[in-house]
Amino acid sequence: MLLVKKCAFLLVLLALPFSLRAWGVQGHRVVGKIAENHLSDNARKQVALLLGTQRLPLATTWADEARYSPEYSFTAPWHFINTPSGMSFEQYNTAINAMTEPNAYQALQQNLKDLKDLTKTREQRQVALKFVIHIIGDVHQPMHVSRAEDKGGNAITVKYQGKDTNLHSLWDSGLIEYEGMTYSELAALLDHASSAQVKQWQKDAVPTWLFESYTISQQLYAETALNPDFDYKYVPAHLPSVEDRLVQAGIRLAGVLNAAF
């Protein structure tokens, strides 16, 4: 696993709202920057044509901002996917493919289709691109691939170093806020996957990405049930998982865009 060598952290943000962005601005931009590093020449050119003056890392949070507007309020369910606990991969794959309600898996497939559709307008393809780059980040955050009954961990109160927060918020931003590090610096620190890892991660199908997050979220639920009072050891113990998910999301996003273009 990739290990962060810098260990000075900002204090975990407390009492964060239910609607807080997955990974936060920092995490999404780390994913976007890593993806940008791995784009093919043609994909880089096509992304630039669609985004105009906005770079890929900065476009990663547009979908979170847009969902609060009347025009895109219907996209709120596109940021997560929930299933019951205790599923095998086969059961999970069957369940997500049978879903009829809007969710991140369906939204990713539809927006990727729209992105590749040259009959769509530039604006339509630009919007589709922005959703693709955001949703891929979202589904690599374990608490966005979890359970409906507790709203992805938002309804689970935990303590971090004696102060109240919730499980979802801790994983959205609390674990990746580092003192004195920009998203570019963090991306540079983490973006050292081997060629074999890049090849495998980009080969994996989307249900595999989702099941990875689902498996992690099940582990987080289990350990929280045993003791929801987290001490200073919690962050360093879980940083390897956070780092892996950020890097995998960036590498896979690049693979999706390289293939799309």
Q: 81: domain CATH number?
A: 1.10.575.10
The 10 Å CB-count burial string (b at 16+, else e) for 7-37 is eebeebbeebeeebbbbbebbbbbbbbbbbe
Confidence of residue 236 (pLDDT cuts 50, 70, 90): confident
Q: Above 70 in pLDDT, residue 9?
A: no
Which of residues 159 and 50 earns the better pLDDT score? Answer: 50
Mean pLDDT of 230-252: 92
88 in any annotated domain: yes
The answer to whether position 9 is within a domain reads no
11 within a domain of the structure (yes/no): no
As for how many domains the chain has, the answer is 1
So what's the pLDDT on residue 188?
95
The top-scoring range by mean pLDDT among 7-11, 148-152, 195-199 is 195-199
Residue 211 has pLDDT above 90, yes or no: yes
- Over residues 206-230, the mean pLDDT reads 96
In a domain, 129, yes or no: yes
Residue with tokens 């900065």: 58
User: Is residue 3 domain-resident?
Assistant: no
pLDDT mean over 34-38: 98
Q: How confident is the model at residue 34 (pLDDT cuts 50, 70, 90)?
A: very high
Average pLDDT over residues 85-95: 96
Query: What pLDDT is recorded for position 99?
Result: 96
96-147 residue pLDDT tens? 999 999 999 999 999 999 999 999 999 999 999 999 999 999 999 999 999 9
Q: Residue 14: inside a domain, yes or no?
A: no
| Percentage of the chain lying above the pLDDT 90 cut | 77
Whether the predicted pLDDT of 206 surpasses 60: yes
| Averaged confidence pLDDT in the chain | 89
- pLDDT, position 22: 58
Residue 193 in this model has a pLDDT that exceeds 90 = yes
Q: Specify if 152 maps to a domain.
A: yes
Q: Is 127 exposed, middle or buried (0-12, 13-18, 19+ CB in 10 A)?
A: buried
Given pLDDT bands bounded at 50, 70 and 90, which one contains residue 162? confident
**2 phi and psi, to 5 degrees?**
-75, 140
Domain containing residue 199: 24-260
Whether residue 250 contacts residue 32, with contact meaning beta carbons closer than 8 Å, is answered with yes
> Does residue 91 carry a pLDDT above 90?
yes
The answer to whether residue 227 is domain-embedded is yes
Q: Please give the share of the chain, as a percent, with pLDDT higher than 70.
A: 90
